[in-house]
Amino acid sequence: MVTRDHLKPRDCCAIKMTTPPPVFSSLTECAQGSQVNHERYKGLVDSFQAKYGEKPKYLVRAPGRVNLIGEHIDYSGYGVLPMALEQDITTAFVTNDSGEICLANVSDSYSELKCKVADIKISGHNWYEYFFCGLKGIVEHFSIDSPIGMKVLLDGNIPPSAGLSSSSALVCCAALATVVANNVPSPTKKELAEICAKCERYIGTEGGGMDQSISFMAEPGVAKMIEFNPIRCSDVKLPSSAAIVVSNTLVLANKAAFANYNERVVECRIAAQVIAKKKGLKWQDIRKLGQLMEALQLPLEKMVIVVAECLHGEAYMRNEVCKFLEVSDEDLASGSMSPSTLHMQKFELHKRAAHVYSESLRVIQFKKACENPSVTMEELGKLMNESHASCRDLYECSCPELDGLAVLCEKSGSCGTRLTGAGWGGCAISLVPKDNVDSFMQRISESFYQAHPVRAKQISTSLFATSPGGGASVCKLE
**In the 8-state DSSP scheme, what is residue 436?**
G
End-to-end CA separation in angstroms for the chain:
55
Helix axes 289-296, 349-370, angle to 10 degrees: 80
Task: Report how far residue 150's alpha carbon sits from residue 18's, in angstroms, rounded to the nearest whole number.
Answer: 28
pLDDT along the chain (478 residues), means of 10: 38 63 91 85 96 96 97 96 96 94 94 89 85 95 94 94 92 97 94 94 86 96 94 94 97 74 96 98 97 97 97 98 98 95 97 98 98 96 98 97 97 97 95 97 96 92 94 93
Q: What's this model's pTM, rounded to 2 decimal places?
A: 0.92
- In sequence order, what E strands does 335-426 have? 346-347, 416-420
pLDDT digits (tens, 9 = 90+) for 81-123: 999 999 999 999 999 999 999 999 999 889 899 999 888 888 8
The residues annotated with a catalytic role in the active site are 211
Domains by residue range for the chain, with CATH: 16-237+469-476 (3.30.230.10)
pLDDT digits (tens, 9 = 90+) for 235-249: 999 999 999 999 999
- What pLDDT, on the 0 to 100 scale, is given for residue 254? 67
User: CA nearest 250: which of 368, 336, 161?
Assistant: 161
- What pLDDT, on the 0 to 100 scale, is given for residue 37? 87
CB count, 10 Å around CB of 354? Answer: 22
User: CA nearest 16: which of 235, 236, 237, 238?
Assistant: 235
